[in-house]
Amino acid sequence: MNAAATPPAESPAEPPRTKRDLLMAMAGVSATVVLAAFDSTIVSTTLPRVAEALNGMALYAWVGTGYLLATAASILIFGRLGDLFGRKPWMLLSIAIIALGSISCGLSQSMEQLIAFRTLQGVGGGMMIATAFAAPADLFPDAKERVRWLALVSATFAMASGIGPLLGGAATQALGWRAAFFISPCAAIVAMFLLVRYFPRMRPAGAQSGGRRIDWLGALLLVIAVSAPLAAMELGFAPGGHAHPMAALALAVAGIAAIACLIPYERRIAWPIFPLRVIAQPEPQLLNIASLAVGAVMFILIFFSPLLLQTQMGYTPSEAGLLLTPLVAAIPVGSIVSGYLFPKQTEPQRLMVFGGCLLAVGSLMVLTFNADSPVIWILAAFFVNGTALGFLLPNLTLFMQMLSERRDVGVASALVQTTRAIGSAAGTALVGIAIARSSVLDGVRMGLVFSAVLALICAYLAHRVKMKNVLTRQAARRNA
């Protein structure tokens, strides 16, 4: 890589120093994460009624697809822009986009309008995830202190994701489906106030010099590289007559071509949108492969366990939702325990190894479900899986931040979120194919076996990530 392509590392401005300042700043980040979780999940229980009211059942799937594609395509871009220009402006802008998009969704008069506004919200959601999960790195340079706050952020996101569908369903039941879209704007007011008032403006040093440029071509190639393969999976594996194999093939080719053009282009420019040094070493590569696996397992469990409970075990949708609650509720438990244990570890990757093995055990526990399975066993299985995810999700982000240079923390964090999203889409698509080719029971069971294998692969990859040396180097820098 030439000299022009490796600008000097720059440190952000000093974070707030008092405990109260730090607490209130993180309260703003947590409120932002709550908004992101509400935005992505609150529509799930209202969408059938929305589609019926707008006479748009044929376009039902694209409400979710548009949002997910926009989110996945924008995370990396805004993670990098946060590194270049500071994170606070992007967090504030994301709140505004989500709030305005949600209001527009609530006022939609057609399914096409709803899809357009949800896609706009997806851009805001990607912007928010990219910046909010990287913000603790600005406030807490010490990884041993940061891990507890990352655990809090992950726990907040998980809990809000579980509450979102309940709030959406309650609002729809009481006031109609349009009311559900006005919950996020109310949460946005709180997040906006806390960020404006308490989160510091921490622009990277030297950002005011004007030497930084936005890599527009790289951003375009990156959007195509991420979104085209995901759209190809949606179109290629859609159920019934909704599949479009040729369009899916064209999108897949476009994604591969974009990747082939992106890599050499990003090596040549001074301020790439995706600096390849982020994944130049083996450890970040292993972590992102592990993130793919974790995303696949997590969404296989979330999407297909309720299907198993309802179609094969006779539970109603509301009963299945209650039985699945420990899967979400236990993620904060695992995150908090992991955050407590992390400072005591000389080789913290062992926490992820444990999480991967525990996730494999949990997947096999779900595999044993049958019509005679006691409720306590079902709850225990989902609790085990949720706890395992709590050991994995925050550590994937934290380890990527620790392995990256300070100037690349945002894009490194965003990369983990992006690979997890890609893994989620791939995992659900593969299990969907298995169900379509066999039966619900056989397809879900194949998916659970696949999940157990992926979880063990994640544990093996984590074992190969040597974090001891990273901690030693960071301690040496602090003592110098």
Return d(Cα 306, Cα 311) in angstroms, integer. 8
**In a domain? residue 145:** yes
Give the amino acid at 304.
F
Return d(Cα 36, Cα 56) in angstroms, integer. 26
Return the number of other C-beta atoms located less than 10 Å from residue 313's C-beta. Answer: 16
Supply 11's token pair: 């440190």
- Three-state DSSP class for residue 211: coil
pLDDT of 238 strictly over 70: no
The residue-averaged pLDDT of 384-413 equals 89
The CA-to-CA distance between both ends of the chain, in Å, stands at 29
Residue pointed to by tokens 């476009």 = 254
Question: Closest by alpha carbon to 127, among 33, 213, 199, 206?
Answer: 33
Supply 184's token pair: 């996020």
Supply 167's token pair: 């709030």
Supply 234's token pair: 């949606």
Name the residue with higher pLDDT: 33 or 14: 33
**In a domain? residue 320:** yes
Question: Closest by alpha carbon to 181, among 36, 40, 37, 42?
Answer: 42
Return d(Cα 47, Cα 116) in angstroms, integer. 15
Are 62 and 118 within 8 A, CB to CB? no
Residues 376 and 294 in one domain: yes
**In a domain? residue 291:** yes
The residue-averaged pLDDT of 459-478 equals 71
Q: Looking at 201, 226, 253, which one is the last position of a domain?
A: 201
Residues in the chain: 480
Q: In the structure, what pLDDT confidence band is assigned to residue 239 with cuts at 50, 70 and 90?
A: low
What are the two backbone dihedrals, phi and then psi, of residue 50, each rounded to the nearest 5 degrees? -60, -50
Return d(Cα 229, Cα 476) in angstroms, integer. 43
**In a domain? residue 210:** no
User: In which domain, by residue range, is 366 found?
Assistant: 279-480
Residues near 109 by Cβ (< 8 Å), separated by ≥ 6? 54
CATH number at 305 reads: 1.20.1250.20
**In a domain? residue 117:** yes
Give the amino acid at 204.
P
pLDDT of 5 strictly over 90: no
Q: In the structure, what pLDDT confidence band is assigned to residue 234 with cuts at 50, 70 and 90?
A: confident
Q: Looking at 151, 170, 201, which one is the last position of a domain?
A: 201
Residues 171 and 74 in one domain: yes
